[in-house]
Chains A and B, each alone.
Chain A
């Protein structure tokens, strides 16, 4: 409770302070138009000089404020654009459905048509759109690309819709996630028309169904366009990349922070790690394609990129960040702590594992969070090192696209799909923003050692 009060109070204070700040700026703004008391006693040259200086200062100040606000406005614009474009597409179904559409073509068996009987069906559900002649309830829906589609929500007992068979003549049950792509119907038996779910609303389709006497065939589809595969791939990628990079990075950081003495080897190691952090990600992608794909494939017998090549490449990319952050947190640990441990008779190894590592935990956590943010956002390297095919599930043996690569692929075609891309971008943005705020919080905790030193 007290914590809540504190937070409320501090937010209140912040707002009051910001208000005061703006009041101050407003005062400065007003002061700009007021002239100095000594202005009257100046001669004309002094006056001209005074006015010129005032104008110049005002211009510089206004310019500085404008640039500062421009940067903030850019961030807000970007976030607002992505949230407004993508929020309607981002549903639970979008996250959990496959990318490719599954098509189900239905046949009418030996007779090649269904004929409507004389009897009418009664609506046993509370669905509003119901075809009494055929005994099916229809409903409007929207697919993951914001197109209108028609669902068959309920089929009454005894309706011909129960008798659909597949190509081999086996009975088929239409599950809930399939929508009606088209129905082939006929009014008299001699004519033929196709009722497309994407062109007609459920009401219109129902009317058409009531008017027709024969059904010749149907096609049902799943929504598709989902991101389940990419999401799972990204999660696996995060796991494996951290598995490969954390031990290496922490080991190197411990060497540099605990054991290293100033010398040519240490200097060389530091320089090379610095150089690694300056390499652009696409070069890492090339390196992954030329080093890790042949290496992993020769061991496992796979072809092309897969999760392991991608995560090894990402591990390479993450190493400098992990080494630097962890080393920083090791350097912050007070010397007295390690010295006390050594004085009590612990060996260097024991000190390293029982004093240095636990105290460097915030740094390791920070580097992990930073790494996760980087893996989620990386695209160029993964296109080369893992692959850009969008998959329905994640698997160890095949290199499917991660979330960022998914965005890159669906925006790269002839018709860019902004809504879906922005929906994925919302996920990435939220994860990245939350992670960087967490990192900020942890770094505040890390600062507690600074007073001790």
Chain B
């Protein structure tokens, strides 16, 4: 496997995202720019300039016409992907840490950080894709943090935008109604005091995986928030992703960025690790980054994955045949029976 290395950012990567077809990949970084890449060869279509703060998150609508970015300059910007023009800017109260379009592409959720006296919230904005310069400047729904809970870190829609699943800073996961914003339930799935660092759903949005600084990733059902599988690692995790086609989970992390220069490269554990989704075993590792991995995404067709590191590099890996052929003995027996 030969990775394609993308050196388009000067500061740590914050999020990577494929569009629905998987031909484009969007990257955001702390260097205040976002990049749009062709996923098949790593060619850069262009860069998005206009934010005055670290960009934390990006998502494109299902038709790949527009892309929305959230940044530390208290704005959310809407861009036309074809031209790279900033067509609209929403002003928020605080930094936006995660944006995700609803499956119908008519609205998106934005997770706003708790800071500067504001408590942090999830805001849902409508998007007019046909006429992108005319937007509703205020959110149509705001979900505040339930009484006694810690701040939101990451959020995702479930199937049909029915619910919103949210990770908290202390290992809790909450579920809210997607249209009314009503708090349905909260469950602790990770160790207390350690933040949930990523939350990604499968393509059908029926279950999700979270990663945490408690060195584990957990797969849970979005209907009842039951933890189905646990993937244990030996290093704090920053990201976890579910592969389609094959039943694997890819997680990434590594020692804290501030310790990187004072210890040997061998101790960093800056690898993307593959776990079998059902058997929970670690089955492989991909080395390459020389800083902790901040984000991993899997191609919607399951043919590739991209990882973005604290080192500012994106590594784009296209899977080879052996990846698809790998089977457990029990799987092989079942297939032959």
Q: Do A and B assemble together?
A: no
